[in-house]
A and B are shown apart, each in its own frame.
Chain A
Amino acid sequence: MSHGGNEHVGGPNPLISWLFTTNHKNVGVLYLVTSLYFLVVAGVLALTFRLQLSEPNNVILGPDAYNRAMTLHGLFMLLWVTTPLGAALANYFVPIQIGAKDMAFPRLNALSYWLYLSSGIVALSSFFAPGGTADWGWYTYQPLASLRYSPQIGGSMMAFALLLLLASTTVGTVNFIVTIFRLRAPGMKILNLPLFSLGWLATNLILLWAFPAFMAPLILLVTDRLLGTVFYTSAEGGPLLWAHLFWFFGHPEVYILLIPGLMAVGDIIAVSGRRAVYAKPAVWVALLVASFQSWVVWAHHMFQSGIHTGLREAFNITTELISIPFAVIVIAFLLTLVGGRIRITTPMLFALGSLALFIIGGASGVFNSSVALNIGLHGTFWVVGHFHYTIVGGGITGLVAAIYYFWPKMTGRLFSETLGKIHFVVHMVGFNLLYFPMHMLFDMPRRVYTYVVEAWGPVNMVITIGAFTFAAAWALFFAILFHSLARGSKAPDDPWDAAPYSLEWNIPSPPPEFNFPHGIPSLSPTGKISWITTNGASPSEHSHPHLSPWPFIVSVGTSLIGVGLFMSPPMTVLGLAAFVAAIVGWAYDDLKDRFKVVIEAIGEKWPFERDNNFSLGMWTLVIGEVALVGPIFSGYVFARANSLLTGFRWPAPGEVHPIELGLLNTIILTTSGLTATLAYLASKKGERGRTVLSLTATLALGLAFLGIKAFEWWELHAHGITFGTDIASSFYYVLTGIHASHLLAGVLVLPYLILKAHKGGYDGGKAPGIEMFAIYWGFVDIVWLFIFPSFYLL
């Protein structure tokens, strides 16, 4: 692929430069290619089961194969395709649109991608594990997904792959939030951002909560499957514990999938109509309101589970209300066009098409929100039709529009408008033939590999024909893109006449490595773009300090650990070695200050002018951590409340866990919080000796805590209290285990900080590393202050 960044990445070997790249545009291209590959995989799986369902009592796929194909299709399309496809374009264009030369943390950006790829590889290899992969449907209901009913190794691999993916996304989220808040060009206020970047910010604000919140139930699932805890098999936890925690993530996820495409559509509409976005502040407020609302609608997925009527009615109302901000957005987009001069291009056709499909999906969603109608619609093909209209119609079709829109900028090539328009027609015909008839099957259960009711046959046949037509549209899409790469005429810098609207159309196609050859972009209060020329703020394009092998090697290590854990122990050892080597290498690069991040000194940083990128990054990560630990604590409360109903006797204070030891550890940990703070204060004053001393004290206290914790675990084991003894011991082990592993991570970083401080690395009074550590350590302390009373005192 001819690509801008590529030419400048340098290095003797183009393969190495792709593997070790940290440039946001290259990472974007990697994301794009990978997510489209996964889209093809998951799409082909869908074709196999559409073939199976085309007639009643068909025998192309058996129930085993069907369940696996359907599960993988769902998981991949949602988590490995749609979100990363948005991330691909965001990686490429958000830094450009905000006026930055790269992301705030380029190496972490590369790490996000490589972890994403690793997770995909682990997930796909689970397909070939003995006994097959996960076959319980993407929402993994319990206890079907427990070891008892689904013992296959592939299922555990899938859970592990999901954890990896969530880690990858969380790293990316922190990076984007810091980048968008702190790296904007001078004059670029948040509201000045094009809708795509604005939407990506909103998406990341949801991601920051939602993905760690999904980690919580997954960790409990993995410990259930690997260590024998009883979260989902005991009466106190059980199926509803999973359902609540899962949907708490699951519904916000829908907006994560939708917003990037929808907001790209807004930009394309504005550009094609040559009009400013109508009521842009209202669009932004609507996005934020919807983000918050997305946290209080989850139980509408559980209307039939027997939760209290009043609660269901409340969720009915919140669910209806969330359609209001999206109605505001849709109408604002249509009003944008009023009085405009609309040019119908391929991206514009897809944009309008996407909006139309999303309106239908939104309308059918109102039906589902009704507690009464839901009785008839829940678990049927109506629902399948509904969510494909929103996610494939609103989300993916919008992203197709965005790929067409951004394509000339990314590749420097134009595509055939005629073919693009033919593609649009095939896409829309295939889509509607595929998903619209599903609404007529509102009595047919979803996720069945076959059906006996003859009357459902003809409609299913139409759906299958639609599926193949839709698949043909995708084949055509890829052909058009390849044709453009091979034969496309050279794209001008501004093929859509969009230069006044967004920065990317003011730079060459494809953009040079650091994006802005004319200087630093800046924005006047009236929205005029100008260029500040300074004396070479960017490093020479021939040196390449921006290559780093470590993100790639970390991820190779992680995948080996992942696959090896389930298939071959030596592989795990090898992976662990690679992982440790990469982390040490990464730290060594930092110690020697070898990797340069390209960041302009001036810019718009509201509302985080007083922070630095590192502290803001750590604060953001801590919010994500809260979203991880919080749901586990909610699970604890849920199980304790349930134990009153089931008659399970929760151990009395002091009965199992000695209060004295807990108290001792509390004192040790709070003291270490104090020493960590002292280290931070000393480092700010540049006092080397006191910094080293305080850090060393923190290390000693951290080790003491871990020692006592290990002793407590040992004692419990000696008394026969294990992971799976009961729900109380499960929660104790997992919560203290998560806490201790966080503490251990901090303890492992400390020697590095001590070494760097000792060598005078923080003498200048700037010690972002220590500041980050102090924030992190404080968070870990606070978590303990919740754990201590929960298990020792109550």
Chain B
Amino acid sequence: MVELLTTETIWYSLFWFYLMAAVTISALVFGFMTFVVLRYRTKSRNPAPSDPIDEDFRLGVSPKRGGVIPVLVIVGGLAVLFFGLTLSTFHANEVMEDVSHSGDPAPLKIRVEGYQWGWIFVYPNGKKLDGELIVPVGKAVQLEITSRDVYHAFKAPDFKIMKDAIPGRLNYAWFRAVEEGEYLVQCYELCGVGHARMIAKIKAVDPGTFQNWYTS
């Protein structure tokens, strides 16, 4: 069986790629920093006045210090790195943005309405749930997200999907649950005193159970 595409796997593989790059580069810079400080450290408090270093140490710009080459190396190196990171980001973003990449020709379309303080989920047949979204395992689910009052942000961290819920606007996201279970939904934009309690859950059930519930 082909493994079904999920938004969270795309996100995590991109995250590890970035993390690898960040750790490598930080390690290089920290290594260089440590080396320089240890190598050129001194305890003598009185430098010899004739020391050639001191000629350079003065107000203004030293003609002896600083070439263009290191600057170009940094700029060029980072540009190349960012080019790589950005390409993979754009690719991941395209998939995560658009439900047509889910491989599911008929995704389940749900309207999500945030309010102070909770989430309402409306199904295509008019079924309406407050605080709970029931979905069938394996099916791509497309969310159409909006708000009834203030600015909220819909996020299901397990699926790595998020979109702001803004009054008067519609935003879209999609995900797919591959295992049965309950997943957290929470508001991620401060929306008043109930913000921390603006929680709902996504309940992924097997398709048969879903169908029974949906048509009942």
Contacts and interface: CB of A to CB of B under 8 A. Distances in A.
Nearest to B169: A306
A360 B25 CA distance: 10
Interface in B36-52: 36-37, 40-45, 47, 51
A366 interface: yes
Contact of B14 (A276, A373, A501): A373
A328 B22 contact: no
Interface stretch (A199-207, A330-338, A708-716, A771-779): A330-338
Interface string A235-257: 10011100000000000000000
Contact of B171 (A306, A321, A451): A306
Contacts of B172: 306
Contacts of A144: 150-151, 190-192
Contacts of B59: 192, 194, 500-503, 523, 527, 529
Interface residues on A, range: 35 or more
Contacts of B96: 372, 375
Interface stretch (A279-287, A292-300, A657-665, A689-697): A279-287
Interface string A250-294: 000000000000000000001001111111111000000000000
B18 A337 contact: no
Given A372-B11, A450-B196, A328 B74 contact: yes
Given A306-B171, A375-B11, A363 B22 contact: yes
Interface in B145-172: 149-151, 153, 155, 157-158, 160-164, 166-172
Determine which residue in A239, A312, A317, A336 has the highest number of CB atoms from chain B within 10 A of its CB, and name it.
A239
Interface string A634-647: 00000000000010
A376 interface: yes
A323 B71 CA distance: 13
B168 A278 contact: no
Contacts of B166: 238-240, 305-306
B180 interface: no
Contact of B194 (A63, A240, A324): A63
Contacts of A135: 193
A274 B61 contact: no
B15 A275 contact: no
A191 B151 contact: no
Interface in A353-394: 355-356, 359-360, 363-364, 366-367, 370-373, 375-376, 378-380
Interface residues of B, number: 86
B57 A378 contact: no
A791 B150 CA distance: 30
B36 A338 contact: yes
A714 B203 CA distance: 60
B71 A372 contact: no
B200 to A, nearest CB: 12
Nearest to A65: B193
Contacts of B61: 191-192, 276, 280-281, 527
A343 B44 CA distance: 8
Nearest to B187: A445
A136 interface: yes
Contacts of A316: 86, 89-90
A306 B164 contact: yes
A376 B151 contact: no
B195 to A, nearest CB: 6
A332 B22 CA distance: 20
Contacts of A239: 150-151, 166-167
Interface in A340-356: 340-344, 352, 355-356
Given A321-B82, A373-B14, A364 B60 contact: no
Interface of B: 10-11, 14-15, 18-19, 21-22, 25-26, 29-30, 32-33, 36-37, 40-45, 47, 51, 53-54, 56-62, 64-68, 70-71, 74-75, 78-79, 82, 85-86, 89-90, 92-93, 96-97, 116, 149-151, 153, 155, 157-158, 160-164, 166-172, 184, 186-196, 199
